[in-house]
Chains A and B, each alone.
Chain A
Amino acid sequence: MPISEADLAAALLKGRRGDEAAYATALFEIARLVRSRVRRRLGWATNDLEDVVQEVLLSVHLKRATWDEARPVLPWVNAIADHKAIDALRRRGREGRLVASSVTVEAVAELVASPEPEWDPVGLDLERALAALPQREQEVVRGLTMQGRTVRELASALGMKEGTLRVALHRGLKRLALAARRELS
Chain B
Amino acid sequence: MGLAFGRLGSGRLFIMQHTGSDSFRSPLGQARGLGSSKSGVSHWWFQRLTAVCLVPLTVWFVVWMLPLFFQAGPDALMAAFQGLEVAGPAMLWNICVFYHGALGLQVIVEDYIPSEFGKMVGIMLVKGLSVALMVVGNLAILKLFLMR
* A, B assembled together: no
Residues of B within 8 A of A (CB): none
Residues of A at the B interface (CB closer than 8 Å) are none
